Amino acid sequence: MIKIKKYAAIDIGSNAMRLLVVNIVEQEGRETQFNKNSLVRVPIRLGQDAFTVGEISPENIDRMSDAMTAFNLLMKVHKVEDYRAYATSAMREAYNGKEVVDLIQEKANIKIEIIDGKKEAAIIASTELSHLLKEDETYLFVDVGGGSTEFTLFSNGKLVNSRSFKAGTVRLLNNMVCDIVWEEIEKWIKTNTADIEELSIIGSGGNINKLFKMSGKMQEKPLSYIYVNSQYAFLNSLSYEQRISELGLNPDRADVIIPAVRIYLNAMKWSGARQIYVPKIGLSDGIVKAMYYGKI
């Protein structure tokens, strides 16, 4: 006997917002399956507002309201039973973030919770990474967003330490990450990985997913430091227009991919990791599993 539930997750990030609808398949005697039914991504760069002027602009509030109304209708069409909508760093830092949340609930009937970086990392890590971690190995999980980057260290299958830094792709594009922040990241990584002989990185985020897709590798195979470094140089050699026309990148991906790769490269360099695994996971995936297992 098969039982199917439908859950949805809304991830409101600094560079885009996503609606993920998942079929949860339960069958006695078998492991529960989480099958993606639909994923809709809308490129609304809230971070450009929040990090430069400190508030979400009227134009982006209108666009966000329209997107949330559409998401609500899509969830209705899919007959979604339950959902969670989480907003991250851009909404956290916009002084009108709470006002926008209230407006969205009134106009689109979507209840949004603004979460901090620690909860964001915990949702992804606790629900998505456990089956990927080998108990006798150590991993540094790096989740690069538009406004912040979350670092989480796992050893022997358990979370050892985590930290969120205000170093994201949209901030870097706007020259808003000072040397002190980079120094703090370097110090945290080196301090927490100093005694580890062999360490691998697990990368999360749309930009590393795109880089991995461009490599043509099988999903379980890692990218090497040499490959990531060469791709970083290659991307930098192209203009913004060339990255769109020649590589087929979306306009809202063609600029942020370079600062994102820079963060991953630095994490590999400072931790001594020679490879990075890209399991294609994100906050929205974690939200659905956390809902199902009663963790949120």
pLDDT value at 82 more than 80: yes
More confident residue, 92 or 123: 92
pLDDT in tens, 37-54: 999 999 999 999 999 999
Residue 129 has pLDDT above 70, yes or no: no
Confidence of residue 130 (pLDDT cuts 50, 70, 90): low
pLDDT tens figures, 131-142: 677 777 899 999
- Axis crossing angle, helix 206-215 with helix 257-271, rounded to the nearest 10: 90
Question: What's the pLDDT at 295?
Answer: 83
pLDDT over 90 percentage in the chain? 79
Q: Mean per-residue pLDDT for 276-289?
A: 88
Summarised one tens digit per residue, pLDDT across range 194-223 is 989 889 999 998 999 999 999 998 878 999
Q: Alpha-carbon distance 230 to 2, whole Å?
A: 47
pLDDT at 131: 66
Distance CA 142, CA 264 (A): 7
Per-residue confidence band for 296, with pLDDT thresholds at 50, 70 and 90: confident
CB atoms within 10 A of CB 118: 13
- For the full predicted model, state whether its pTM sits above 0.75: yes
Contacts of 178 (CB under 8 A, 6+ apart): none
Please count the other Cβ atoms lying within 10 Å of the Cβ belonging to residue 14. 29
Which pLDDT score, from 0 to 100, does residue 127 have?
62
Task: Compute the average pLDDT of residues 183-201.
Answer: 95
Residue 128: the pLDDT is 60
User: Given pLDDT bands bounded at 50, 70 and 90, which one contains residue 4?
Assistant: very high
Which residue pairs from 67-73 have beta carbons closer than 8 angstroms and sit at least 24 positions apart in sequence? 67/17, 67/42, 68/10, 68/104, 68/107, 68/108, 68/110, 68/112, 69/107, 69/108, 70/40, 71/10, 71/19, 71/40, 71/108, 71/110, 72/108, 72/109, 72/110
d(CA 286, CA 9): 9
